[in-house]
Chain A
Amino acid sequence: MSTNSASITTPSAPFGDRVRRGIDRVAGGVDAVGFGWLLPIVRLIAGASPREQLVELRQRVAIPLLGITLFLAAWALLAPTVQTSLGAIPGPAAVWEQLGEVRADHVREREKEVAFHERQEARNSKLVAEGRADKVKVRDYTGKPTYVDQIFTSLKTVMLGFIIATMIAIPIGVASGLSRTFNGAINPLVQIFKPVSPLAWLPIVTMIVSAAYSSPIAGFPKALVISAVTVTLCSLWPTLINTALGVASVDKDLMNVGRVLRLPTWKTITRIVMPSAMPLIFTGLRLSLGVGWMVLIAAEMLAQNPGLGKFVWDEFQNGSSDSLARIMLAVITIGLIGFLLDRIMFALQKAFTFSANR
């Protein structure tokens, strides 16, 4: 919670008072999801003292904005000076233009899909009218996935990989934290497999998934599962290690209380261990999601899962003069999504853990 919310209340407004108290209450949550920079603005509107809020505003809004502007200016100036075989490196303007192009492609593809369904409807109703209802066919649209579809595919894949990783890592981590023997047994394995890059896992994963997952479930094609499993293999280590650490560092007094009350193991874990270890577990989850998102892009490029990684790879292979700008657009999109995912995890962490401030 922001400490300088102890704003000098102007004498006139009990309503304004209530508003300010309301803002203070939600400040913590809003901050957690990354919109903390809005708070000084809202407070200014609600009539708080300008001087304090302007200081806040400078720190939270003006300075980051300045940083971003300087970066964009540097990019716009330096980019045209580097010539590659695909043309000069695109500046921010070209990338912005590609955002428009990508959006136009998406709209066009959706229109084609609507037209396709209309044609299918017309064909089917004609068949029914002619009395040949048995020949009616309803099929899905077979167009290419648009940029927006690709973003959602990437998110779906990373979520799948992350959930599988969490379901494997947390139980093993808890066991490892509670039992020194177990920890000793798995530690060397963890240390060896932790540094392995996703590109090295990919051929093995491809072979295994192709053999074991021969009849794909709808919505989860092979390429998606391969990418998800690769994400799992690379992102389960931070969660595992942090969980083990969190569990091992539960306050001894709390454990003793549990022993005094003769709590069964299950209750010990759920009532004492997990709540104490939550901060570290969440740290691990955040790190895992970050690593998973990074790994995903590489895995998609190689496994040809139709997500953002494949978008980058296809643009590179096409080698058109728009390609570099589109690749940069994809880079920025990947960064923004990664930031969003991190913020969501941070917000969840704030919601589910007890910290010294609460």
Chain B
Amino acid sequence: MTPFASLLPTDHFLIMTLYALLVSAFFALLWREEKRARVLLFVKIFFALVVGALAVAWLMYPFPS
């Protein structure tokens, strides 16, 4: 554990959103050169990850483990 562990989110949705933020920022930087194109790709990947995860979670709801 790190010293700032108490500052970390423990909520599953927040952890997932933080992950989506980091991954979408990384790929927007890697795959696009212009600023506007980067922002657009960032928004697309971020929403695809978050909305996709929520959609899969919703679809899995009737099938508890």
Q: Do A and B come from one complex?
A: no
